[in-house]
Amino acid sequence: HDALALLLMIKIAHVHGRILKARHVNSLHPFFDTITSLLWPRLKAIMDAHLRSIKSANAQKLGGVDLHAHYVSRRYAEFTCSILSILHRGQKDVNELNNQISPRRLASVKKVEPAAGSANASKNIVPTQNHNSKSGNNTENIFFSSMEHSTSSKNSKPKAGDMLLADLDSMQNEIISLLERLADKHSTNKKRIVFLINNLDQMMCIFQERRVVGKELNRFVELLMTQRELFVEEELLTSFSKMIAFVQQSESHMKALSSTNQSHSATTPSLTSSMDIINPQVVESLIREFSSNWKAAIEQINRNVLSYFSNFRNGMEILKQVLTQLLLYYTRFQDIIRKVWRNRPPAFCKDLVSTTIILAEIKKHALVI
């Protein structure tokens, strides 16, 4: 039932087969082919069992969920990294083996008895012909991709190593689906995002610690970046929902107004202006609310991030993203005010907090990081 042990046995059989092939010992080829033809189907059966187990898993079977990374994500990451490490190590071992054996074959010589009285007797040394020089490059292929279930398998059949990689792809899809099912057990969208971030970050860190790179890691990185962006928006909506909604709606209205005015001819006056769609009382209340609450809101964001994310480095990266996005929203808010009241800013504009002050507060948190 140990997939890693089976894969190691397949690797050992393959490496020994390569050694014998390099030394032109063909008598044991059927033996190693028989071993691998027995091990590959068993490994496939175990991988299928793992996939069925992940598909049928749920929160009740796995012992519940909280905001921190679930143990199932660590198990998956450790298992996948071990499989990929064995495969990649198999490639490295075969290459090193070929580099060791090839010079020996080239150095081996066959001495020919010189003819009597020959003046060039000392030069009649003929090197052993390397009949496998063309196929020698093929031995550098990764061990699992060149092997099929048996030597009698047809070329049209899928190779065992390719099927193993396909199983790993399916397992990654299933573990992502499982994490999404576990995340749905949380009551709010924000908690669901935090749970996914912690699990994706844990799997990504394990891949990086094991120095396993490839499409599996790349996919986790992409998913993690997506969930971070979602968390940034959710966290800002907690304290700055009114300002964010105002910015998004105002920008949309002003863009539509600009398109409408451009559609009219130059001689036709504009039907509406930016001042007609922006309520000064709303802007004034937003300015006063932000100026009185922004520092406390940033402190609360900092406390939330530290409590949500178990990986400190991941949490600090997210905190920087949240504060940077806040600064961008506030800059867009100021730009709307400047566009509406170009030369005559209202009196309440004096309460606007300078972006320099906000940036200094963000840098203060960055120094703590």
Contacts of residue 341, defined as CB under 8 A and 6 or more positions apart, other chains included, come to 275, 349
Q: Is the pLDDT of residue 67 over 70?
A: yes
Structure tokens at 48: 């299928």
Q: What is the structure's pLDDT at 367?
A: 60
Separation of alpha carbons 164 and 153, rounded Å: 17
CA 179 to each of CA 5, 15, 62, 70, 171: distance values in angstroms, whole numbers, following the listed order: 27, 38, 11, 9, 12
pLDDT tens track for 201-247: 999 999 999 998 889 999 999 999 999 999 999 999 999 999 999 99
pLDDT tens track for 298-335: 999 999 998 999 898 999 999 999 999 999 999 999 99
Q: Is the pLDDT of residue 100 over 90?
A: no
Separation of alpha carbons 361 and 324, rounded Å: 11
Mean pLDDT: which of 82-96, 207-221, 253-267 is highest?
A: 207-221
Q: What is the structure's pLDDT at 333?
A: 93
Paired strand residues for 182? none
What is the torsional sign of CA 142, 148, 152, 158?
negative
Residue 127 sits at φ, ψ, to 5 deg, of -65, 150
Separation of alpha carbons 59 and 185, rounded Å: 8
| pLDDT tier, 37 (very low <50, low <70, confident <90, very high otherwise) | confident
Residue spans of alpha helices (H) in 116-214: 160-183, 189-209
Q: What is the structure's pLDDT at 95?
A: 55
- Which of 169, 207, 226 lies closest to 73, judged by CA? 207
As separate numbers, helices (DSSP H) first and strands (DSSP E) second, the chain gives 11, 2
When mean pLDDT is compared across 37-51, 110-124, 254-268, 327-341, the lowest value belongs to 110-124
Q: What is the structure's pLDDT at 47?
A: 93
Q: What is the pTM of this model?
A: 0.77
The DSSP string of 88-135 is: HHHHHHHHHHHHHHHHHHHH-EEE-PPPTT-TTGGG-EEEPP-TTTTG
- Which of 185, 193, 278 lies closest to 236, judged by CA? 193
- Which of 72, 316, 82 lies closest to 182, judged by CA? 72
Paired strand residues for 127? 109
Structure tokens at 142: 């990764």
The DSSP string of 254-293 is: HHHHHHHHHHS-TTSPPS--HHHHS-HHHHHHHHHHHHHH
Separation of alpha carbons 349 and 337, rounded Å: 9
User: Interior CA angle at 248 toward 299 and 292, to 5°?
Assistant: 30
Interstrand relation of 109-111 and 125-127 (parallel, antiparallel or unpaired): antiparallel
**Burial class (CB within 10 angstroms; exposed 0-12, middle 13-18, buried 19+) of 302:** middle
Q: What is the structure's pLDDT at 240?
A: 93
Type of residue at 247: V
Instruction: State percent of the chain over pLDDT 90.
Output: 43
DSSP category for residue 143: T
Is residue 318 within 8 Å of 232, Cβ to Cβ?
A: yes
Separation of alpha carbons 169 and 171, rounded Å: 5
Separation of alpha carbons 166 and 171, rounded Å: 9
Separation of alpha carbons 316 and 182, rounded Å: 25
pLDDT tens track for 120-160: 433 333 333 444 443 333 333 444 444 444 434 444 456 77
Q: What is the structure's pLDDT at 144?
A: 43
- Which of 123, 122, 121, 125 lies closest to 111, judged by CA? 125
Structure tokens at 47: 């991988």
